[in-house]
Amino acid sequence: MATASEASQQANRSAMDPKRLVVIFYLLAGIILALFLERVVGMLWASFGWPDSILIEGLDWKVSTLVGYVLAVALALVGYFHPKTHALSMEVASELMKVTWPTWGETRASTVAVVVASLVAAVLLFCIDSVAYNLMVEWLPALWGKL
């Protein structure tokens, strides 16, 4: 069985077509947009007081649901087939293919370093805060009282 490091190296060398990543992105973005627009169109439909009858009984698809899904598909297709957007998407995917992702060991080591540095910073800030509090609340008033 291949380790995570070997798998990531193999994925980086595989030279997967960037177009595949772009299509996957647009599919996922279309699904998320469809779920969002379903709710938005449903609320708009209700605010105008239009009748929202059920089209598909088992799925509870209403007219507003279908309108939201059609809008999402249309927006995803327009985004994919627009020349500038498509060129930018392909460029981003090509750059992502060049990225060398860290191994699991590197990720774990970096996480431990961040946690330790955060704890050290927290202890130092606690010490500085405690000294500053004691200086302003106890030591300086006591010193001024003796003068």
d(CA 65, CA 135): 64
- Angle CA(119)–CA(125)–CA(126) in degrees, nearest 5? 90
Whole-number pLDDT of residue 3: 57
- pTM of the predicted protein model: 0.60
Whole-number pLDDT of residue 6: 58
d(CA 82, CA 68): 21
* 15-54 residue pLDDT tens: 678 899 899 999 999 999 999 998 999 899 889 988 888 8
* 112-145 residue pLDDT tens: 999 999 999 999 999 999 999 999 998 888 888 7
100 pLDDT tier (thresholds 50, 70, 90): confident
Whole-number pLDDT of residue 14: 56
* 53-93 residue pLDDT tens: 888 888 888 888 899 999 999 999 999 999 999 999 999 99
